[in-house]
Amino acid sequence: MRPDWDSRDPLSTECEDRYSRQVLFHGIGTTGQAKLSSSQVAIVGCGATGSALASLLARAGVGTIRIIDRDYVESSNLQRQTLFDEADAAQSMPKAIAASRKLTAFNSQIAVESRVADLTPENIEDLFAGVHLIMDGTDNFETRYLMNDFAVENTVPWIYTAAVGSYAANMNILPGETACLSCIFPDSPKGALETCETSGVLNSVANLASSIAATEAIKILVGAHDNLRTTLLSFDLWRNERAEVSTAKPRPRCRTCGERDFVHLRGTQRPQITLCGRNSVQIHETERPINLAEMSRTLMPHGKVRHTEFVLKFWRDPYEMTLFPDGRAIIKGTTDKAVARGLYARYIGT
């Protein structure tokens, strides 16, 4: 589904002034800027790549940016996640909320929608409703395959972006035209994978990956189809290496775009409990609203508690629990799923 905008309305004088340097660029112009202003983009994950993507697209004048993120700001994020500051970390502010506040502070002309949520098969239709483009700011293939299933089934373009260590990668997925994620990676990578938690990441790598992705996004949104790159592009900035693999055509008999078997969208391969880095386990709960103020009073006799309207933090040595209003929790201090589920059942209930 190609984005369908009504770009007949001229830009306001204020918009013309704000985006004048971008409008002067021959690939965008007034018509392209009007298309950007009427575009809706979803960014899944607001970490290093996601926050840079959000900032670039907001400054470029993308009309509606929907930020979907399940996590909260920590001090270790500040080295590379450019939308956050020390106050956000001190308050354990949900990233989607903190990002929304920063974006609207420097561009009040756009709409920023924050969704503090874990993208799941149950909520994906709602979270992606009405968007023209999906951007990848995640750090795991489980969510990327889910996005890929949705994009292919609904013919919505999306952009794969990755950054870890000194490595950056980017790929455009145009359903029905180019290879999809499953064409290039038929199965999720096996064994131990490098993550930002285990291998670190250079902030310059995250910004490079995001800058490339944001440029490809603008091409899609303004309709510059002939200028889109049809390769999986990767860089290793530390080793000065660059590689490209063609993604110009779908792979024959691809499970997703060929056979249209959307296993991730059906949720048949999604665990209720997942590891999420930082020596942590995430527990997924659907439609289990929790009153954080009441829960704070309940937990107070059992350990240190702090809460805001967005998140509750509970410390019970040697564990730290972060609880969200939808019932989802991140248990820090263990990678044992049984231990995490036991702590959740003991203090939150089953």
pLDDT exceeds cutoff 80 at 299: yes
Q: What is the CATH number of the domain that holds 282?
A: 3.30.310
Mean of the pLDDT values across residues 198-227?
94
- Tens of pLDDT, residue by residue over 165-191, are 999 999 999 999 999 999 999 987 654
Mean of the pLDDT values across residues 288-315?
89
Mean pLDDT over each residue of the chain, to the nearest integer: 89
For 65, 174, 278, 330, the CA distances from 124, given in Å and listed in that order, are 16, 19, 26, 21
Choose among 61, 118, 59: nearest CA to 83. 59
Amino acid at 24: L
Same domain, 67 and 30: yes
- Tens of pLDDT, residue by residue over 302-348, are 899 999 988 999 998 899 999 988 888 899 998 887 788 778 877 88
Q: What percent of the chain has pLDDT over 70?
A: 90
Residue 3 lies in a domain: no
The neighbouring-strand residues paired with 232 are: 245
Two tokens at 288? Answer: 């289990």
Q: Rounded CA gap, 238 and 250, in Å?
A: 32
Q: What percent of the chain has pLDDT over 90?
A: 67
Same domain, 249 and 297: no
pLDDT exceeds cutoff 80 at 213: yes
Are the C-beta atoms of residues 182 and 240 closer than 8 Å to each other? no
Q: Which of 266, 295, 313 is the last residue of a domain?
A: 266
Same domain, 327 and 231: no
Residues of 177-202 as b/e, b for ≥16 C-beta within 10 angstroms?
bbbbbbbbbeeeeeeeeebbeeeebb
Same domain, 284 and 252: no
Q: Which of 211, 240, 266 is the last residue of a domain?
A: 266
Q: Rounded CA gap, 164 and 195, in Å?
A: 6
Residues 6+ apart with CB under 8 A from 108: none
Q: Rounded CA gap, 330 and 53, in Å?
A: 25
Same domain, 220 and 251: yes
Same domain, 204 and 322: no
The maximal CA–CA distance of the chain, rounded, in angstroms, is 64
Specify the residue for token string 């490098």.
Answer: 194
Number of domains composing the chain: 2
Same domain, 208 and 138: yes
Same domain, 297 and 212: no
The neighbouring-strand residues paired with 283 are: 273, 329
Same domain, 143 and 161: yes
Residue 204 lies in a domain: yes
| Bridging pattern class, strands 231-236 and 241-246 | antiparallel
Same domain, 280 and 262: no
- Tens of pLDDT, residue by residue over 12-59, are 777 778 999 999 999 999 999 999 999 999 999 999 999 999 999 999
- Of 145-159, 254-268, 283-297, give the range with the top mean pLDDT: 145-159
pLDDT exceeds cutoff 80 at 6: no
Mean of the pLDDT values across residues 75-102?
94
Exposure on the CB side of residue 341, measured as CA atoms within 13 A: 11
Give the domain extent around 36. 13-266
Q: What's the pLDDT score for residue 346?
A: 79
